[in-house]
Amino acid sequence: MGTPRATGGVQSAVRVLTLLRHVGAHHATGIRLKDLITLSGIDRSTAHRLLACLVKQEFVERPPGSQHYRLGMEAMQLGLVSAGMAPVIERLRPAMQKIARLTGDTVFLIVQSGDHALCLHREEGSYPIKAFVVEPGSRRLLGLSAVGVDRMARMEDADVAAMHARHPADYARAHMSLARLMSLIRAARRSGHAEMVDARTEQTSGVGCAFQLSAHSYAGISIAAINARMPARRRAELGTQLRTEVQPFEWMETDDAAH
C-alpha cells in the first residue's frame, strides 16, 4: 500500500517546509519567487501566500527593494543556536577567548540578521562582576548595541534613516532618536569602533567592532563591563584591541575568488 497523500494541515506544513528548505539552500544569493515556484512545484498564489506568512513570522526575509528571499532571523536563530558550535562560532571562539582573557571582561559574538543583531556566543572574563547584557540566542535592533552601531557605520545615511523609520516604536522605547543614532555612527566612523555607555542598563557600557564575514553577511565582537571599568580612555584602548583582533576575519572580495 502506498503512502497516503498529505492533506489539509499536513499538506500546508509540507509546502511551508519545502519553501523554507529551498530558501535556505539559496540563502547566500537569495532566490526569486518564480524560481521557488519552479523548484517546489507549488502554484504561484499558494507560494506567495506561504512566503508572506514566513516573512511575517521572520523565518524568511525579503529586503526592501529586492525580489530575492533569504532566511530570516528566526530561522537563523533556530539553526545557529541549536547547533551550539556553528562554524562561525568555531572560527571566532579563539579570538573571543583571547580578548576575554586579556581584558577580564565579557565578550560577545554578534551576527546581523536583517534589521537585527543576533547574539551567537559569549565568553566570560575573570573579573568577578559580569556584564551579561545579552544572552546567546537573543536579538536586538541594529543601533541598540555597540556592534549594531558599528555595523550601521558602514551603511549609507539614507539606509540608516530608512531602517530607523521601519521600527519607530522600538527605537523610541530605547530612547534612540535618529539624531542620537547618527551621532553614534559618526563617532564610530571616526574611531573605527563603536561605544555604548549605559547601552542597556544604568550600570554597563560596551565597545564593539563589526566586520564583513562573507559576501552577504556581517558579524561583530563586543566587550561589555560595568561602568567603573569603562572610562573613556579604556574604551578607546579596547576599541583598538578589538579592531586588531577582528581584522583577520574581515572578508575581502578575493576570498570567494580563491575558492
| Closest to 120 (Cα-Cα) out of 196, 251, 222, 24 | 222
Assigned fold of 76-257: Beta-Lactamase (3.30.450)
The structural domains of the chain, with segments of one domain joined by +, span 8-71, 76-257
Examine the pLDDT at 199 and tell me if it is beyond 70. Answer: no
For position 102, what pLDDT does the model report? 96
Cell of residue 44, nine digits: 504561484
Q: Measure the CA–CA gap between 44 and 96, rounded to whole angstroms.
A: 46
Percent of the chain with pLDDT over 90: 61
Q: Domain 8-71 maps to which CATH number in 1.10.10.10, 1.10.645.10, 1.20.1250.20, 1.10.1370.30?
A: 1.10.10.10
Higher local confidence (pLDDT), 94 or 202: 94
Provide mean pLDDT across the span 158-187.
Answer: 95
pLDDT digits (tens, 9 = 90+) for 131-158: 777 778 788 899 999 999 999 999 999 9
Provide mean pLDDT across the span 184-199.
Answer: 92
For position 201, what pLDDT does the model report? 56
Are the beta carbons of 109 and 122 closer than 8 angstroms? Answer: yes
Examine the pLDDT at 191 and tell me if it is beyond 70. Answer: yes
For position 84, what pLDDT does the model report? 46
pTM (2 d.p.): 0.70
